[in-house]
Amino acid sequence: MALDVLALLQELTVESFLNLLRESGSIYYEALCGGSIEVSDELSVVNVSCPEGTAVPTGATFTSPEETCECAPGYYKPSSTEDCTMCATAYYKTTVSDEDQCMLCPRQFDATLPTEGANSSDWCICPVGYYRVLDECWVCDKGNYCPGGPYVRCPDHQSSNETGLTSEDQCQCDVGYYRDTRDTCVPCDEGYYKSTIEDGSGSCGSACRQQYGTLSTSERGATSAQDCE
């Protein structure tokens, strides 16, 4: 008669498994049951309702629900109290644990962020004019502005002469462009050029005819006198 292994496994309870180990003289029985042990044939799900600011840590043993909950991410347990307290501004904590302190954001980061209770270093924000690279704050490059968080490219046909821009308003018209009355950077008109990054005063200012005579001109968007013909 063929042995139905699946049926045998389904009927094998925790208690019968331990008995099997004992009868076979297995060393594992001594390891498991060298002391006193209570065995149940039924698995049960323990629902634990943790207080605010606490959570169940990974791999917790449910000896009692009250002892299971530990401080949640964003909370720590000061040595002077039994209560979990939110991490202060500029601090964070990522784990479920009763650690007595939170981690401080790196010194270059904005000391006013994150707000209380941060649960990740992602909440550490660089001050305006800077952007984050791993755990460091780098000054915003030319052609970008940094309002807090990732850097942002200046709009099309705009750039900057300086680093550390904090807002789009500080971007200026690129070479070959000027700012018109609609507050838009447009190409220099024919016969004009602009070799600097600035908004200009309603035009590109430099005229080819001033350099090469009245018949000299250039295509739209010229960036230097060498573009004049």
- For tokens 């004009």, what's the residue? 192
Q: Would residue 161 count as lying in a domain?
A: yes
**pLDDT tens, 207-228?**
887 766 666 778 888 988 888 8
pLDDT of residue 44: 52
69 shares its domain with 116:
yes
Q: In this model, does residue 75 exceed pLDDT 50?
A: yes
CB atoms within 10 A of CB 134: 6
146 shares its domain with 197:
no
104 shares its domain with 142:
no
Domain carrying residue 117: 49-124
pLDDT of residue 165: 97
Burial of 78 (0-12, 13-18, 19+ CB in 10 A): exposed
Q: Would residue 37 count as lying in a domain?
A: no
Q: Would residue 3 count as lying in a domain?
A: no
Q: Would residue 108 count as lying in a domain?
A: yes
Q: Would residue 102 count as lying in a domain?
A: yes
**1 or 54, which is more confident?**
54
pTM, two decimals, is 0.60
Q: Would residue 157 count as lying in a domain?
A: yes
119 shares its domain with 130:
no
Q: Would residue 39 count as lying in a domain?
A: no
59 shares its domain with 120:
yes
199 shares its domain with 219:
yes
pLDDT of residue 51: 81
**What is d(CA 49, CA 52) in angstroms, rounded to the nearest whole number?**
9
**What is d(CA 229, CA 94) in angstroms, rounded to the nearest whole number?**
65
CA distances from 129 to 82, 91, 109 (A): 41, 21, 11
78 shares its domain with 143:
no
CB distance 88 to 102 below 8 Å: yes
192 shares its domain with 159:
no
61 shares its domain with 112:
yes
CATH of the domain at 78: 2.10.50
Q: Give residue 37's region: left, alpha or beta (phi > 0; psi -120 to 50).
A: beta
Q: In this model, does residue 173 exceed pLDDT 50?
A: yes
Strand partners, 173: 158
**pLDDT tens, 23-71?**
554 444 444 444 333 444 454 555 667 888 888 777 665 555 556 789 9
Q: Label each residue of 10-71 as H, E or C.
A: HHCCHHHHHHHHHHCCCHHHHHHHCCCCCCCCCCCCCCCCCCCCEECCCCCCCCCHHHHCEE
**What is d(CA 226, CA 211) in angstroms, rounded to the nearest whole number?**
10
CB distance 75 to 85 below 8 Å: yes
pLDDT of residue 125: 87
Q: Would residue 98 count as lying in a domain?
A: yes
CA distances from 32 to 19, 20, 22, 27, 46 (A): 12, 13, 10, 9, 23
Would you give the DSSP letter of residue 203?
S
58 shares its domain with 120:
yes
60 shares its domain with 104:
yes
Q: In this model, does residue 115 exceed pLDDT 90?
A: no
Q: How many domains is the chain built from?
A: 3
Would you give the DSSP letter of residue 216?
-
Would you give the DSSP letter of residue 103?
E
